[in-house]
Amino acid sequence: MVGKKWIAAAAVIIALGATGCESKKDVISIGINQFVVHEALDASRQGFLDVLKENGYIEGENIEIDYKNAQGEQPTALSIAQDFTARKKDMIFAIATPSAQASYNATKDIPIIITAVTDPVDAGIAESFESSGTNVTGTSDGVPIGPQLEILNKVLPEAKTIGVIYNTSEANSIYQVNELKVEAEKQGFTLKEVGITNLNDVNAVLPSALEGIDVLYAPTDNTVASAYAIIIKLATEKNVPVFCAEDAGVNAGGLISAGLDYYELGRETGLMALEVLDGKKPSELSISTMKNPVIVVNEDTAEKMGITIPEDILAVARLVGGNVTAARIL
């Protein structure tokens, strides 16, 4: 009798265990591999999570979010990706090019949804924007340089020399600077490159580089974004306005951006994640860019620097430091 009772009890335990495993499978596990902490990338993560929540994926109920930040270290990003792979996450959300590359290097099976990756083809994680041909899809934060320079010319018509500060080891930044070279020449600007490799370089190289430039351009670069406060402080001391590729730089005191709203970019990425969760393969979804970039103007900065923003720009801009008007570049 004892043997039979033990067998019956064991059967119950096994059944309960099986039930537990089955319910576990109903919980989607997403690992977030974010390269560094700064306003733009944080906003994209929040937009992504908000879309999931709005569509019924509630943390603690049917979704598990495992957020890790590499603190700007490529080896850490790879370790995070390898850990997510070993723990068989259902999806990896990779924010910024180094984290996307690390995630792709770690797994070719788990769906990887990317954002804030300027050129996923050049980064080696996709065959084309139309179809990655891999386990990757998502959104690019690439913004056409030409229209940005047209706006810069309207706002600062006397500007002739543009300085661009960027991390020379970031693939996305090199891509943007190459595009900037072409467009600057087309539109009659002289370009001065200010290359850095880490945050410490900013104080070392920027003060002297600011001599002889009329405006400093800040692309979508992780190192630059992490150093907005010091970059804008140094530029302002030299009375050099900062033109940014995304709105976080303007929030930090830059003059104007004609680029990205990373929260909205994150939301677009979340919509793509929903399609993958519904059964589509990443390679079936085109990698997209944000369709409606935003102009943002810092009124306080313009006033302090004695810069008059043209009325046609103000009419379609979102303003910070003053009255706020929502707008889009058409």
Given a cut of 80, whether residue 138 has pLDDT beyond it is yes
CA distance 166 to 169: 9
pLDDT tens digits, 200-250? 999 999 999 999 999 999 999 989 999 999 999 999 999 999 999 988 899
CATH number of 27-141+263-289: 3.40.50.2300
**How far apart, in whole angstroms, are the C-alpha atoms of residue 111 and residue 208?**
45
| Radius of gyration of the chain from its Cα atoms, rounded to whole angstroms | 23
Average pLDDT over residues 102-125: 96
Q: 7 pLDDT exceeds 50? A: no
Give the pTM.
0.74
* 9-55 tens-digit pLDDT: 444 444 444 434 333 458 999 999 999 998 889 999 999 999 999 99
Tens of pLDDT along 139-162? Answer: 998 888 898 999 999 999 999 999
Name the percent of the chain lying above pLDDT 70: 89
Is residue 1 over pLDDT 50? no
Phi, psi of 124 (to 5 degrees): 85, 20
Q: What is the pLDDT of residue 26?
A: 83
What interhelical angle do 262-277 and 39-54 show, nearest 10? 40
- Average of pLDDT values for 85-92? 98
Q: What is the DSSP string of 209-272?
A: HTTT-SEEEE-S-HHHHHTHHHHHHHHHHTT--EEEEEHHHHHTT-SEEEEE-HHHHHHHHHHH
Q: Please tell me the predicted confidence (pLDDT) of residue 265.
A: 93
pLDDT at residue 125 tops 50: yes
Q: Where in the chain is the domain with CATH 3.40.50.2300?
A: 27-141+263-289, 145-261+292-320
Predicted confidence (pLDDT) at residue 324 exceeds the cutoff of 90: no
CA distance to 265, 281, 283, per residue, from 225 (Å):
16, 32, 30
Say which CATH topology domain 145-261+292-320 has.
Rossmann fold (3.40.50)
Query: Which one is predicted more confidently, 19 or 199?
Result: 199
